[in-house]
Amino acid sequence: MNIVSGSAGSLPAGVFHRTGAYRHRVFIEQLKWELPVTGGIEQDQFDRPDTLYVVAQDEEGEVCGCARLLPTTVPYLLGEVFPQLMNGAAPPRSPDVWELSRFAAVDFSDASASPLRQFSARTAVALLRAAIACARERGAKRLITVSPLGIERLLRREGFNAHRAGPPLNIDGHLIFACWIEVEPEQVSIS
């Protein structure tokens, strides 16, 4: 597995387009979310030139996981669309806090993978660690996510330092919640 990160313009050729098609397959075709589509690509108003993407690809170059990172100092998904998930608090707006959204880790080339199990453990953990590292490099100390409740199991089982921002809500038939993930300082190994 290979994980790359960058903006739409700086990702390797074709990766941004394939990520949009992968998001369409996961979020629209399989999870039945109602999201904007442009030419078979799932894309919304938060997919901007400055948005960061973290993308996992298998040995064949097929996208098998993705995540989207946005600073909370500019318009972002939770702040604009889902502030009600914050349990009465104002959505964060700080250079220390980045938003993680559109997180998925379904390997469609794995015949045993179920799209409804949105988070194949090995890919999901690697992708999440890469997304945290990418945000840390840009000054993030915490991530805030808008996610299906299923991601909470992954976070707990894999020992991420994370907790709910508020109760889950039923939005369009899906249980969604906001979650804080602490960006731990990078561990330095001393030899």
Partner 1 sequence: MKAARPTDPASPRMTLSSDGYIRLTFERFLRLRLEHLCSGLDDSEIGLNPGAEGACTTTISGYTEWVSDDLPAQPMITIGWSWALVGRDGGARCVQVDPPGHNLMFLDAQGRDVGLRATTALLYDWLERFDWQSQVLFAVNAQTPLNSCQH
Judged by CB under 8 A, which stretch of 48-56, 99-107, 128-136, 150-158 contacts partner 1? 150-158
Q: Where in 106-135 is the site for partner 1 (CB under 8 A)?
A: 114, 116-117
Residue 64 or 183 having the CB closest to partner 1: 183
H or E segment to which residue 152 belongs: helix 150-157
Q: Which own/partner pairs from 60-63 qualify as long-range (CB within 8 Å, at least 24 positions apart)? A: 60/109, 62/18, 62/108, 62/109, 63/15, 63/18, 63/19, 63/21, 63/22
CB of 173 to partner 1, least distance (A): 6
φ, ψ for residue 62, nearest 5 deg:
-75, 140
CB of 10 to partner 1, least distance (A): 32
Distance CA 144, CA 166 (A): 12
Under 8 Å between Cβ of 183 and 136: yes
Verify binding: residue 180, partner 1, rule CB under 8 A: yes
Convert residues 63-92 into a mask of x (bound to partner 1 by CB under 8 A) and - (unbound): ------------------------xxx---
Q: Does residue 104 sit in helix, strand or coil?
A: strand
Please give the residue ranges that form the binding site for partner 1 (CB under 8 A). Answer: 87-89, 114, 116-117, 141, 149, 152-153, 156-157, 161, 163-170, 173, 175, 180, 182
